[in-house]
Chain A
Amino acid sequence: MNILAMITISLGVVFFFGATLGLLRFPDFYSRVHAAGKGDTLSSLLMLFGLGILVLENAHFIDVLTFIKIMMICVFIFVTSPTTTHALTDAGYSAGVKPWQKDDEETES
């Protein structure tokens, strides 16, 4: 049980690292949003899930309740994270942010 929790939390950290790296290295607004939106969702879920398992270890009734609460947080993140991504890109699109294309490599600073 403990080991499973360790694995999921570490995986979450690794994916968070990937998302942050993508956020820093991708060329424009939209592709950065790709990294942020996807990476955050899965890594938060993994870490929360790991914490949930860790809490379940004693298996008292109150711990089960805590586990359920953590799972509800997971559900909310799963719904809201893509929605915020969508809100971000929509705002950028309406403000006229042009997506980066391969051709205008030179004009990009």
Chain B
Amino acid sequence: MRDPSGREDIPMERQGTGTQFVLMFAMCMVTWFVFSGRYDVFHLVLGMISSLIVTWASGDLLSPNRKISMRCAMTISWRMAVYLIWLVIEVVKANIHVFKLALSPNVRDRIEPSIVTFKTVLKTDLAKFVLANSITLTPGTVTIKIEDGVFVVHAIDTSAAEGLQEQMERRVAHIFSEIES
């Protein structure tokens, strides 16, 4: 299910299907090289054939309705990498948090669960997915469901729920540059 408002946000330039085909084929081949580990003629030909079939069968899978230009994709990948580093640090913090809670002698006094809902400004499905997974991985919060852009989040104590949407949402929005700041 695709959210209809997601399509019209940024007009992207169309890319030739030829380049796309070659790109997809190259990706399949690289994957084959890494995963097979054998480089005789027989296996290479097998790889070529299967890559061709996969490319032919799923040619328009990687490029959904909105065509994204090459430079735009590069920028997004770079920002994603920076974001991932931040996320890994958050994951470590989250684990230490859970670890401390689990070891504390009086768990029931330490936690104070509550359910928080907020509406997001993010439009595309991918951005929402990234935000939901990030909320789950950061300390003290788990995404329960997303319904029409409304996030339902379970927070393990009240302090974890504060400042949740502003900070994280801004970071995610920055990746996909949905908010011009």
Quote the shortest CB–CB distance from B101 to chain A (angstroms): 6
Task: Report chain B residues within 8 Å CB of A82.
Answer: 132-133, 136-137, 143
Task: Tell which of A27, A31, A42 touches B92, judged by Cβ atoms closer than 8 Å.
Answer: A42
Q: Closest residue of chain A to B92, judged by CB?
A: A42
Residue B4 is within 8 A (CB to CB) of chain A in the complex: no
Identify whether the interface residues of A are mostly helix, strand, loop, or mixed: helix
The A/B interface has a contact count, at CB < 8 Å, of 108
CA distance A76 to B154 in the complex (A): 24
Q: Are B113 and A99 in contact (CB under 8 A)?
A: yes
Contacts of A62-109 to chain B: CB distance below 8 A: 62, 65, 68-69, 79, 82-83, 85-86, 89-90, 92-94, 99-102, 105
Interface segment, B10-18, B45-53, B57-65, B104-112? Answer: B104-112
Interface segment, A2-10, A33-41, A51-59? Answer: A33-41
CA distance A33 to B154 in the complex (A): 10
Quote the shortest CB–CB distance from B162 to chain A (angstroms): 17
Contacts of B124-181 to chain A: CB distance below 8 A: 132-133, 136-137, 140, 142-145, 152, 154, 156
Number of interface residues of B (CB under 8 A): 31
Number of interface residues of A (CB under 8 A): 40
Show the binding face of B for A, using Cβ within 8 Å: 34-35, 37, 91-92, 94-95, 98-99, 101-103, 107-108, 111-115, 132-133, 136-137, 140, 142-145, 152, 154, 156
Show the binding face of A for B, using Cβ within 8 Å: 14-15, 18-19, 21-22, 25-28, 30-31, 33-35, 37-39, 41-43, 62, 65, 68-69, 79, 82-83, 85-86, 89-90, 92-94, 99-102, 105
